[in-house]
């Protein structure tokens, strides 16, 4: 998401007359630091970078070669800008501009207003900003994969999470603007698009729904307004065509508007030779019609990120996730029933407030029960301003968090090794992305389930002509899997093919 945001910012800067990206901070007029606030660690790294840039600026005049130009302005963008605006502005001579995630259009003005050494800040959150009309400037111009942001913000209030406070309420781009952007990427040679959003599968395009707006006004105290709305609004019970069965949402879920399944279907049918993935979804937004689109459209990858966070219903309730362990496992069963062979990945938090050994064992057991291909696992790091910060106690000692995290990682590794092993002998369709960095004689790419696959760059038969052809990034190759490691697969290339041809062949 941050990477894509930076591409949006570059487009805005370019339109305002700024030039290209330079390689060194010493060569720049402006240093943009796009930030994440989810964990302490990420913020600590940003403070280190800011210290380094401060050092460059304070030594600017000592270096005669640079004295003809003023030192670069430093702008902090994104979630940390939103969360720590005062602290950043007050930090001694570190930051010139603080610009929140909904204020990027204002960045050129903010930068021009600090010519005389003042500081500038805009961290207003918006109920409508989606940057739908901005065509992002691609940083990795030659890449055959790209990201397209389709919605912003999050209406959930998971108690551990800062995102609703830094990214604001959910709003979705009009479908037409997404189709247009994907079309531009297709023209540029992109073969795989990952649709992005803080809560990507709660996408809901209301632009053609008369009388409905996603919000009326912003207020200074976002959370207070959320809490008031929560009290007014009866919790949505499972609505079969909107929410996953057994899941609830804090906000009333819009039942009108164009939903994620329709967007995915439209994109898949419009660009049948382009692959689509999406991240990061919430488990509550997997109604059957979305799963059916995933099954029926050959170019929508059969891989789902299904963040569970904890395997204990008690902890899930405290986290305000809106589901129980049982509902989550039922959803997994339903997903596998509709999409056999689907690859699942998840996020886990070790040592959340009040987590007992029994809760932790429940999390280990859900890892084994589900069998994930991939997992992102972290020790809990309490964030100021979150509901947990106000209502819970961060009472699991750090060494216990770390021990539980190690056990979680070990359990996941054992379980995922079996998943990788089960690929042996199967033929996977791989989109070539780039040479293997460790062995330039091999290509690296991803198969439908998102696993990394490496294979020889030797010529292969073309599926239509049968002639031996050299392959290149952007080609789809059928690869027979012969070997696995913990995090990748290795195989023998069989033929160059196309998405439609591969999936129409008898398996």
- Number of Cβ within a 10 Å radius of residue 295: 15
Helix segments in 16-150, DSSP class H: 40-58, 79-83, 85-90, 107-112
- Interface with ligand SF4, residue 198, by CB under 6 A: yes
Structural Rg of the chain based on CA atoms: 24
Residue 126 or residue 199: which is nearer to ligand SF4 going by CB? Answer: 199
Q: Would you give the DSSP letter of residue 230?
A: H
303 DSSP β-pair partners: 343
SS3 assignment, position 398? helix
Binding residue for ligand SF4 (CB under 6 A) from 138, 282, 305, 446? 282
Residue 4 or residue 199: which is nearer to ligand SF4 going by CB? Answer: 199
Cα maximum dimension of the chain: 70
Nearest distance, CB of residue 169 and ligand SF4, angstroms? 11
Nearest distance, CB of residue 472 and ligand SF4, angstroms? 37
Residue 161 or residue 182: which is nearer to ligand SF4 going by CB? Answer: 161
Nearest distance, CB of residue 446 and ligand SF4, angstroms? 24
Residue 161 or residue 242: which is nearer to ligand SF4 going by CB? Answer: 161
Nearest distance, CB of residue 376 and ligand SF4, angstroms? 12
The answer for residues whose C-beta is within 8 angstroms of residue 490's C-beta and 6 or more apart is 453, 454, 455, 481, 482, 483, 484
Nearest distance, CB of residue 162 and ligand SF4, angstroms? 8
Containing 78, the helix (H) or strand (E) segment is strand 73-78
Region for 351 from its dihedrals, namely left if φ exceeds 0, alpha if ψ lies in -120 to 50, beta otherwise: left
255 CA to centre of own chain: 25
Residue 119 or residue 248: which is nearer to ligand SF4 going by CB? Answer: 248
Nearest distance, CB of residue 340 and ligand SF4, angstroms? 27
59 HSE (CA, 13 A, CB side) = 9
* Binders of ligand SF4 in range 328-367 (CB under 6 A): none
The answer for residues whose C-beta is within 8 angstroms of residue 232's C-beta and 6 or more apart is none
Tell me the helix, strand and coil percentages in the chain, rounded to 5.
35, 20, 40
Nearest distance, CB of residue 163 and ligand SF4, angstroms? 4
Nearest distance, CB of residue 345 and ligand SF4, angstroms? 14
What x/- string results for residues 441 through 460 when contact with ligand SF4 is judged by CB under 6 A?
--------------------
Residue 110 or residue 154: which is nearer to ligand SF4 going by CB? Answer: 154
What x/- string results for residues 100 through 139 when contact with ligand SF4 is judged by CB under 6 A?
----------------------------------------
Nearest distance, CB of residue 217 and ligand SF4, angstroms? 22
SS3 assignment, position 227? helix
225 HSE (CA, 13 A, CB side) = 14
Residues in the chain: 507
DSSP string for residues in 289-329: HHHHHHHH-TTB-SEEE---B-S-HHHHHHHT-S--HHHHH
Nearest distance, CB of residue 154 and ligand SF4, angstroms? 3
- Number of Cβ within a 10 Å radius of residue 89: 17
Residue 102 or residue 475: which is nearer to ligand SF4 going by CB? Answer: 102
For residue 37, which of 94, 86, 77 has the smallest C-alpha distance? 77
Nearest distance, CB of residue 121 and ligand SF4, angstroms? 24
Residue 9 or residue 163: which is nearer to ligand SF4 going by CB? Answer: 163
Residue 249 or residue 367: which is nearer to ligand SF4 going by CB? Answer: 249
CA angle 411, 413, 417 (to 5 degrees): 125
Task: Kindly tell me the sign of the dihedral angle through the C-alpha atoms of 492, 495, 498, 499.
Answer: negative
Residue 158 or residue 366: which is nearer to ligand SF4 going by CB? Answer: 158
Residue 153 or residue 473: which is nearer to ligand SF4 going by CB? Answer: 153
What angle, 0 to 180 degrees and rounded to 10, lies between the N-to-C axes of helices 175-187 and 260-270?
Answer: 30
* Binders of ligand SF4 in range 162-181 (CB under 6 A): 163-164
Binding residue for ligand SF4 (CB under 6 A) from 4, 130, 149, 199? 199
* Binders of ligand SF4 in range 135-164 (CB under 6 A): 154, 156, 158, 161, 163-164
Nearest distance, CB of residue 191 and ligand SF4, angstroms? 29
Residue 164 or residue 491: which is nearer to ligand SF4 going by CB? Answer: 164
Residues lying near ligand SF4 in the complex (CB under 6 A): 154, 156, 158, 161, 163-164, 198-199, 282
């Amino acid at each position: 998401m941050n990477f894509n945001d930076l591409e949006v910012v570059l487009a805005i800067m370019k339109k305002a007359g700024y030039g290209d990206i330079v390689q060194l901070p010493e060569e720049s007029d402006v240093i943009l630091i796009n930030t994440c606030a989810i964990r302490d660690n990420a913020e600590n790294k940003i403070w280190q970078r800011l210290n380094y840039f401060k050092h460059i600026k304070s030594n600017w005049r000592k270096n005669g070669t640079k004295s003809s130009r003023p030192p670069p302005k430093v702008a902090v963008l994104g979630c940390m800008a939103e969360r720590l605006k005062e602290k950043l502005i007050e930090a001694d001579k570190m930051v010139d501009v603080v610009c929140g995630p909904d204020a990027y259009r204002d960045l050129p003005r903010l930068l021009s207003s600090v010519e005389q050494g003042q500081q500038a800040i805009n961290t207003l959150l918006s109920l409508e900003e989606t940057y739908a009309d901005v065509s992002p400037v691609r940083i990795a111009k030659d890449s055959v994969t790209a990201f397209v942001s389709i919605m912003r913000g999050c209406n959930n209030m998971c108690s551990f999470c800062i995102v609703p406070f830094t990214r604001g309420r959910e709003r979705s781009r009009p479908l037409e603007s997404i189709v247009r952007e994907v079309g531009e990427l297709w023209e540029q040679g992109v073969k795989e698009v990952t649709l992005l959003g803080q809560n990507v599968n709660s996408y809901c395009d209301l632009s053609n729904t008369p009388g409905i707006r996603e919000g009326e006004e912003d207020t200074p105290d976002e959370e207070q307004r959320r809490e008031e709305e929560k009290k007014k609004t009866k919790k949505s019970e499972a609505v079969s065509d909107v929410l996953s069965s057994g899941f609830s949402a804090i906000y009333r879920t819009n039942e009108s508007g164009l939903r994620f399944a329709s967007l995915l279907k439209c994109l898949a049918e419009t660009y049948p030779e382009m692959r689509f993935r999406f991240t990061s979804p919430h488990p509550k937004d997997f109604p059957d019609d979305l799963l059916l689109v995933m099954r029926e459209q050959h170019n929508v990858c059969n891989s789902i990120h299904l963040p569970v966070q904890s395997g204990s219903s008690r902890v899930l309730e405290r986290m305000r996730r809106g589901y129980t362990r049982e509902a989550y496992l039922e959803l997994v069963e339903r997903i596998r029933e509709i999409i056999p062979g689907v690859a699942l990945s998840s996020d886990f938090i070790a040592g959340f407030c009040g987590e007992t050994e029994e809760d932790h064992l429940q999390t280990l057991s859900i890892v084994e029960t589900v069998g994930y291909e991939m997992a992102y696992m972290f020790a809990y790091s309490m964030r100021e301003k979150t509901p947990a910060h106000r209502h819970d106690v961060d009472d699991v000692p750090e060494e216990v968090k770390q021990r539980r995290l190690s056990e979680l990682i070990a359990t996941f590794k054992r379980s995922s090794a079996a998943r990788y092993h089960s690929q042996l002998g199967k033929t996977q369709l791989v989109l070539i992305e780039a040479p293997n960095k460790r062995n330039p004689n091999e290509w690296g790419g991803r198969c439908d389930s998102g696993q990394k696959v490496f294979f020889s760059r030797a010529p292969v038969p073309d599926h239509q002509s049968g002639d031996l052809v050299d392959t290149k990034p952007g080609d789809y190759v059928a690869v027979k899997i012969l070997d696995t490691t913990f995090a990748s697969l290795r195989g023998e290339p069989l033929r160059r093919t196309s998405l439609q041809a591969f999936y129409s062949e008898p398996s």
